[in-house]
């Protein structure tokens, strides 16, 4: 399997930025039930910026790939006015064990493996309203590989899986529901937020990505009356290096959630798969 992802800095520290970008790029491999084999750096860098900054970005990416059990096999760098970094990733999976967005069955539970709100929290930090240091929790979440969560989902008998990134939880849930020919019912109250995310959403710390997601999903997502608007913002929030959304039998989902929680990770059952089409938030 082959995937590629890169983007401008989401944090100030070069090493951390490189590691987050690498974790994000490798996530597609884990979403398909695979393992990372090798990666190629994709780098854009201003001519007038200190080369040591680039070295720290590349080191962060390389060490995150090593954590995944892969290797950096080269790459390509060009000059650009804004730094950008990411990876082209080659992964491997048995052809009979590939997990896709399709395959969710009515009666399945929906398991989420990371909290939501990276876009909201990082926007709050950029705007100077993150007075409780909540950005640290968001960074820790973005740095966490989806590798272990993928292993747990596979062992539990996952029917379908995807990773949550720029389209937010609802956008990626729509993709899974449409690929599966089913409807996803999301329990808004069960969606786990990062510390501070809901308060920052109420304060208006929203991203352009979330606004685009809301507009693009307006005809595909039904939101029940009375749901906290901040929670709706959270469900639309564009994620960087978000978790996995997994459809699997209810009892298996409960076991997988318990195992993830015992390992100190997020394992939240946030809804169910129904007969029908689209996504509803209840």
Among 49, 64, 92, give the residue marking a domain's end.
92
* Same domain, residue pair 7 and 116: no
99 within domain boundaries: no
Give the CATH number of the domain where residue 169 resides: 3.90.650.10
* Same domain, residue pair 133 and 273: yes
Q: pTM of the entire structure?
A: 0.96
189 within domain boundaries: yes
240 within domain boundaries: yes
Domain that holds residue 207: 109-281
* Residues 71-124 pLDDT 10s: 999 999 999 999 999 999 999 999 999 999 999 999 999 999 999 999 999 999
Mean pLDDT of 189-215: 95
* Same domain, residue pair 178 and 150: yes
Give me the pLDDT at residue 27, please. 98
Give the CATH number of the domain where residue 84 resides: 3.30.1330.10
Share of the chain above pLDDT 90, in %: 97
37 within domain boundaries: yes
Give me the pLDDT at residue 190, please. 98
* Same domain, residue pair 251 and 216: yes
Mean pLDDT of 114-139: 93
Contacts of 178 (CB under 8 A, 6+ apart): 277, 278
Total count of residues recorded for the chain: 282
- pLDDT(131) > 80: no
* Same domain, residue pair 200 and 271: yes
120 within domain boundaries: yes
* Residues 239-255 pLDDT 10s: 999 999 999 999 999 99
Question: Element (H or E) spanning 165, and its range?
Answer: none
138 within domain boundaries: yes
CA distance to 28, 71, 185, 216, per residue, from 181 (Å) = 22, 38, 13, 20
* Same domain, residue pair 126 and 229: yes
* Same domain, residue pair 194 and 277: yes
Residue from 242, 191, 193 nearest 27 by CA:
242
Among 92, 124, 139, give the residue marking a domain's end.
92
What is the per-residue DSSP string for 190-237?
GSPBPTTHHHHHHTT---HHHHHHHHHHTTTEEE-TT--HHHHHHHHP
101 within domain boundaries: no
6 within domain boundaries: yes
* Same domain, residue pair 178 and 257: yes
Calculate helix-pair angle for 147-156, 14-31, nearest 10 degrees. 20
* Residues 143-165 pLDDT 10s: 999 999 999 999 999 999 999 99
Dihedrals phi, psi of 203, to nearest 5 degrees: -85, 0
Number of domains the chain contains: 2
* Residues 40-52 pLDDT 10s: 999 999 999 999 9
Among 29, 59, 92, give the residue marking a domain's end.
92
- pLDDT(61) > 80: yes
Give me the pLDDT at residue 130, please. 84
* Same domain, residue pair 113 and 87: no
* Same domain, residue pair 82 and 139: no
Give me the pLDDT at residue 133, please. 84
Give me the pLDDT at residue 132, please. 82
* Same domain, residue pair 149 and 52: no
* Same domain, residue pair 83 and 190: no
Query: What separation, in Å, do the N-terminal and C-terminal C-alpha atoms of the chain show?
Result: 36
């Amino acid at each position: 399997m082959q995937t590629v992802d890169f983007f401008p800095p989401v944090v100030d520290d070069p090493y951390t930025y490189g590691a987050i970008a690498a974790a994000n790029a490798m996530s597609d491999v884990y979403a398909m039930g695979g393992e990372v084999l090798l990666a190629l750096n994709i780098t854009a860098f201003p001519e007038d910026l200190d080369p040591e900054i680039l070295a720290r970005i590349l080191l962060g990416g390389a060490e995150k790939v090593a954590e995944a059990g892969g290797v950096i096999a080269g790459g390509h760098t060009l000059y650009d006015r804004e730094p950008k970094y990411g990876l082209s990733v080659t992964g491997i999976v048995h052809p009979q064990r590939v997990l896709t967005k399709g395959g969710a069955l009515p009666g399945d539970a929906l398991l989420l493996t990371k909290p939501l709100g990276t876009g909201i929290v990082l926007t709050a930090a950029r705007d100077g309203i993150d007075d409780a240091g909540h950005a640290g929790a968001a960074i820790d979440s973005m740095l966490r590989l989806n590798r272990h969560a993928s292993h747990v989902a596979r062992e539990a008998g996952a029917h379908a899986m995807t990773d949550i990134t720029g389209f937010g939880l609802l956008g990626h849930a729509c993709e899974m529901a449409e690929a599966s020919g089913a409807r996803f019912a999301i329990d808004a109250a069960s969606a786990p937020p990062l510390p501070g995310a809901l308060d920052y959403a109420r304060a208006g710390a929203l991203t352009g990505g979330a606004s685009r997601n809301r507009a693009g999903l307006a005809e595909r997502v039904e939101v029940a009356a009375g749901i906290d608007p901040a929670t709706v913002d959270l469900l639309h929030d564009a994620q960087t290096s978000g978790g996995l959304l997994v459809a699997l039998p209810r009892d298996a989902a409960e076991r997988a959630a318990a195992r993830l929680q015992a390992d100190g990770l997020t394992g939240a059952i946030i809804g169910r798969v129904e007969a029908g089409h689209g996504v509803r938030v209840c």
